[in-house]
Amino acid sequence: MPTRLCVVGSAARMVAWALKAGLEREGEETMRHSWRSGVLLLLAGILLGVLLVSRGSAAGTPAGGVRTREFTIHARQFAYTPPRIRVRRGERVVLRVISDDVVHGLYVDGYRINTKVFPGRETVISFVADRPGKIRYRCSVICGNLHPFMIGEVVVGPNYTLWGALALTALAAAGTVLVLWRRESNAGDRNEEGDDSTA
Residues 92 and 20 placed together within one structural domain of the fold: no
Residues 15 and 92 placed together within one structural domain of the fold: no
What distances in angstroms separate CA 157 from CA 13, 62, 96, 133, 169, one per listed residue?
36, 21, 21, 7, 23
More confident residue, 171 or 64: 171
Residues 175 and 113 placed together within one structural domain of the fold: no
pLDDT at 56: 46
Q: Is the pLDDT of residue 145 over 50?
A: yes
pLDDT tier, 47 (very low <50, low <70, confident <90, very high otherwise) = low
The model's pTM is: 0.54
Within a domain: residue 63?
Answer: no
CA-CA-CA-CA torsion for 55, 65, 89, 1, nearest 10 degrees?
-20
Percent pLDDT > 90 in the chain is: 35
Residues 78 and 149 placed together within one structural domain of the fold: yes
Residues 80 and 109 placed together within one structural domain of the fold: yes
> Which range marks the domain in which residue 14 is found?
2-58+161-198
Within a domain: residue 104?
Answer: yes
Task: For residues 59-64, give the mean pLDDT.
Answer: 46
Q: Are strands 122-128 and 133-138 parallel, antiparallel or unpaired?
A: unpaired
How many structural domains does the chain have?
2
